Amino acid sequence: MTDNSNWHGEERRQTPRKGDRLYRIVEILNICCWLVFLAALIVFHYARPELISGVQEYWGINGRDSWAQSLTLPLLMLLVFCLMLTSVVFVLRRKRNRRKRDFFGINLYFLLALVIIALLWITAQVSGSS
């Protein structure tokens, strides 16, 4: 056992998690990751091909049957940014979470899986329709 009587720093094991600056930064970045993903979902809604129903076809209402080229690149950029931001949060959580009672962070794993699947699927869809 080492003698820490000369050490005058902060004892992180005794400080509450909410008081830790790094923990607060990780929380804020985690929320930002989800907001960027939400923005990507909104862009996806407007970029995807429109569903042309039988009624629309019967009445002669035109719809777009391909991806909107002007929105495809911003959609991919949002997803890549979300992937990078999620990776940064993973690194910061790994640095911060050392206690047994620290949370696992399943929402980040879920977000990471969603973003990777979305990137692969959209890339396949856009390259397949070109």
Q: What is the pLDDT of residue 77?
A: 96
| Residue 64 tokens, joined | 């777009």
Per the domain annotation, does 13 fall within a domain?
no
Domain assignment of residue 36, given as a range: 18-129
Per the domain annotation, does 70 fall within a domain?
yes
Q: What is the pLDDT of residue 87?
A: 93
Domain count, the chain: 1
How far is residue 129 from each of residues 5, 49, 66, 69, 111, measured CA to CA in Å?
A: 68, 10, 7, 11, 27
Q: What is the pLDDT of residue 83?
A: 96
pLDDT digits (tens, 9 = 90+) for 47-79: 988 777 777 667 777 777 778 889 999 999 999
Q: What is the pLDDT of residue 116?
A: 96
Per the domain annotation, does 34 fall within a domain?
yes
Q: What is the pLDDT of residue 3?
A: 55
pLDDT digits (tens, 9 = 90+) for 72-120: 999 999 999 999 999 999 888 877 665 555 566 788 899 999 999 999 9
pLDDT digits (tens, 9 = 90+) for 3-56: 556 656 665 555 555 667 888 888 899 999 999 999 999 999 999 887 777 776
Q: What is the pLDDT of residue 88?
A: 92
pTM here is: 0.75
